[in-house]
Structure 1
Amino acid sequence: MNWQRVWTADNWERLLVGDLFNTGEMGGLLVTLAISLSSIVLSTLLGALIGLARSSQSRTLSVPAMLYIQGFRNVPLLILVFWAYFLPPAFGLEISKFLSVLLALTLFTAAYIAEIVRGGIRSVSDGHIEAARALGLGPMQIRTWIVLPQAFFNMLPALSGRYVVAVKNTSLAFLIGLADLTEIGKQIGARLMTAPMEVYLTLLLIYFVVNRGISSLLRRLEDRRRFNRVFLRI
């Protein structure tokens, strides 16, 4: 393997930030992280709302939420990326490649997070809810102060896995030409011609480090929560 041709300063710069220091256009890992973090935040917020609606006793809320979840969970993300990129221009709307990928990934991930939220809500002990009612708390107060905080930490393992998948799914951005980490790696591989394995092993290493970092961070939150529970019992 010829790592010297791949691990040059110029190639590492392009893989990490794209042409940010030359043309001002960011790319590579910087774009991947921007899409990942943005989609994680937006899909978590949207998924939480849909999950709350799905667990509602009102069919006016639960049925549309169920249709959303089933609809987006049964459509390939690849198709959503293409639709988000090609459909808006048909209606006279121009959105960037970045926003196209962000929109598709957010809608797709939110459907899975909604089910995680619903499961987290159902995992909260009925005894805690009954105790809150006995104290005179209303339904909204119970959801806000009792159910959701407990449900969040119960959901952390599942959310961690879904966030890692969201980061990996950003690699589909190269299909519409967005200069993310995978696209920059593909360009470097095409330019070098004789070192495809080295290039894609480098991409694998970068994705692994990023996803490992996300998993470790959420695991620390989960461990801290578990420690606090044990400490309070003592």
Structure 2
Amino acid sequence: MNYDILARYYDALVKDDEATRHWVHWIGSAGSTLLDCACGSGEITRQLAEKYEDVQGMDLSPAMIEAAAAKDTNHQVTWSTGDMTDLSGFGTFDVITCLCDSVNYLDEAGFVRWLDQAWTHLNPGGYLYFDMHSQDRIDEFREGYAEAGTFEDGTQVQWLIESEDNVLYQDFAFYLPDGRTLQEHHLQYIHDPEFVRQELEKRFTLESVVTDFDLPGLQPGEKYFYICRKKETA
């Protein structure tokens, strides 16, 4: 899983302007500096740059960062490649975000490492915002999900999702006009909300948890949204 193929088609496949507005509104303004982990193609990151003085976007995929930087014609964001479980090359921020179920690419150990890094790189009283797949996604994809389409350049895509235990398997196949086939395989981990709560409370004050942006608490839905504030000690 590296997104280097998917980066070419990511916006055409999943871009959702209304959802982007919801994310930006949900985050609000909680300081002047922000780091967006796993920023992808930068759609949300660039809009957050309208609300924060200093915004940095980082992603594991060089191709994603290249695509994000190409759209940032006003140079509002500082872009970099990196692993969000190791933020040692970064300073500290008022806000750290990780959106669009990106934390689900981390297994339990990786999630804990990311929380430790987020705590270390937040300013005193800083905020952590993230969302993740709900438990309902396991049942939703247990029998499999398939989507197909054609992009403007003639490339055809097949997107398959299946779940087994607490893992989502996503397979992408891109059939290019020149006859080539490109494939990517992704794994995502659905985390137990109790495990998430326990790990968060070791490091943060859990200020808000909602489902699908506006349903209070953990309810049936697609995503859980967490707002956490850094504790003085962890």
Same fold (TM over 0.5): no
More strand by share: 2
* Higher RCO (CA < 8 A, seq sep 6+): 1
Q: TM-score range by the shorter chain?
A: under 0.3
TM-score (norm 1): 0.23
